[in-house]
């Protein structure tokens, strides 16, 4: 039972770490959203290109961390399933021992511990389900950020081309002599 409790504590710690990782990702996601919302202000082209590259890099880092969190979640789900099987095996063993003539107080105590372990398993399962829902929300937010980043790039390049077109037209018309520069007597 001590081994089972240690393993349960280990799983709970991993779950806490995964939750912390998700909170950190939420914080980074909100930072990225703030960066994207502030990036709409016109600045120098080089700064915009650097900020776009930085946003892309941060987005890729965020996706990498999300994948790591998904892998951790899968590992925890698999461990939870293994613990359920072990808990069921232990319950069957305890029932067998109880039927074989063990004292009723020790079997009752073991059954109580087994119930506590099962309740912990159920709690961990609920936490894993919540983490799965949270991971799906993070995925949707990541996709939205990716689309916003692409839209921002296209808009920026379109704006730069429009400005260059206006400048070239202005230069063109500056070189073309005006037909009515001289005063014509009437």
Q: Per-domain residue ranges for the chain?
A: 2-172
Give CA separation, 14 vs 23, 129, 164, in Å: 14, 15, 55
Helix axes 45-99, 2-38, angle to 10 degrees: 160
CATH topology for the 2-172 domain: Methane Monooxygenase Hydroxylase; Chain G, domain 1 (1.20.58)
Residue 128 token pair: 């894993």
Place of tokens 């400005």: 163
Choose between 182 and 114: higher pLDDT.
114
pLDDT at 103 over 60: no
Kindly indicate the confidence band of residue 77, based on its pLDDT and cuts at 50, 70 and 90.
confident
Q: Residue 150's pLDDT is what?
A: 95
Q: What percent of the chain has pLDDT over 70?
A: 82
Q: Residue 56's pLDDT is what?
A: 81
Q: Residue 8's pLDDT is what?
A: 76
Place of tokens 């912390």: 20
Residue pLDDT, tens place only, 131-182: 999 999 999 999 999 999 999 999 999 999 999 999 999 999 888 766 655 6
Q: Residue 180's pLDDT is what?
A: 58
SS3 182: coil
**CA-to-CA distance for 173 and 168, rounded, in angstroms?**
9
Contact 1, 86 (CB under 8 A): no
This prediction has a pTM of 0.32
pLDDT at 43 over 60: no
Choose between 87 and 42: higher pLDDT.
87
**CA-to-CA distance for 87 and 4, rounded, in angstroms?**
9
Residue pLDDT, tens place only, 13-35: 888 887 888 888 888 888 888 87
pLDDT at 123 over 80: yes
pLDDT at 46 over 80: no
């Amino acid at each position: 039972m001590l081994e089972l409790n240690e393993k349960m504590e280990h799983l709970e710690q991993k779950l806490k770490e995964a939750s912390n990782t998700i909170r950190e990702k939420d914080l980074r996601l909100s930072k990225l959203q703030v960066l994207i919302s502030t990036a709409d202000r016109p600045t120098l082209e080089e700064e915009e290109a650097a900020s776009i590259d930085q946003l892309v890099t941060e987005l890729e880092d965020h996706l990498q961390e999300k994948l790591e969190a998904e892998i951790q979640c899968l590992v925890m789900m698999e461990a939870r399933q293994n613990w359920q099987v072990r808990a069921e095996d232990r319950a069957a063993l305890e029932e067998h021992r109880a039927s074989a003539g063990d004292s009723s107080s020790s079997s009752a105590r073991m059954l109580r511990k087994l119930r506590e372990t099962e309740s912990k398993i159920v709690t961990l399962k609920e936490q894993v389900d919540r983490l799965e829902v949270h991971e799906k929300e993070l995925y949707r937010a990541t996709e939205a950020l990716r689309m916003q980043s692409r839209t921002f790039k296209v808009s920026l390049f379109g704006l730069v081309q429009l400005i260059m077109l206006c400048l070239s037209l202005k230069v063109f018309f500056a070189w073309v002599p005006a037909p009515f520069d001289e005063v014509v007597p009437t």
